A = this chain, B = another copy of it.
């Protein structure tokens, strides 16, 4: 069971956009450059986040991506589901309905207990991801960053918003 690498990329891009000046947008190329990522692959994930209503893809000379909502209104779960889909990790194949003890489908009156446990675990996982917003992540980055990191970020910011 593995999340796609695009989840990490999408979350870092959302955090970067959350700490940009409010009128600034970043192109796919800039977002890729900042994180050392392949532009074409990143573009696919940013487009998925745009379709999900997390990013706004501006056009024209001042175009580029911005967050489409305040960062406090974008949860980690929103980004995970935009990039990786919202299919549950467990897919019940109803194997209890096969073999020598099988009975007609209508006689299984309750959801398979194994499926039920898996649904509960899936909900716990999503609830945990939903508790943290991109604004929370951005505040954490600001708190944890080293002075040198903040200085280098400031230099890069000046260059890209010139």
A residues apposed to B, CB below 8 Å = 1-3, 5, 7-9, 11-12, 15, 33-37, 76, 84, 87, 89-93, 95-96, 98-103, 107-110, 113-114, 117-118, 120-122, 124-129, 132, 136-137, 140-141, 144, 146, 148-149, 152-153, 155-156
Contact = CB atoms under 8 A, between A and B. Distances in A.
A98 B35 contact: yes
A157 to B, nearest CB: 9
B7 A99 contact: no
15 contacts: A1-B84, A1-B87, A8-B114, A12-B96, A12-B114, A33-B100, A34-B99, A102-B149, A108-B144, A113-B144, A114-B137, A117-B137, A121-B126, A122-B125, A124-B125
A102, A113, A124, A144: most-surrounded residue (chain B CB, <10 A): A113
Contacts of A126: 121
A79 B8 CA distance: 28
Contacts of A132: 117
Q: Which of A5, A84, A117, A144 counts the most chain B CB atoms within 10 A?
A: A117
Contacts of A89: 1-3, 89
Nearest to A36: B98
B128 A124 contact: yes
* Nearest 10 A/B pairs, CB to CB: A36-B98, A113-B140, A107-B146, A121-B128, A125-B125, A101-B153, A124-B128, A100-B156, A124-B124, A101-B152
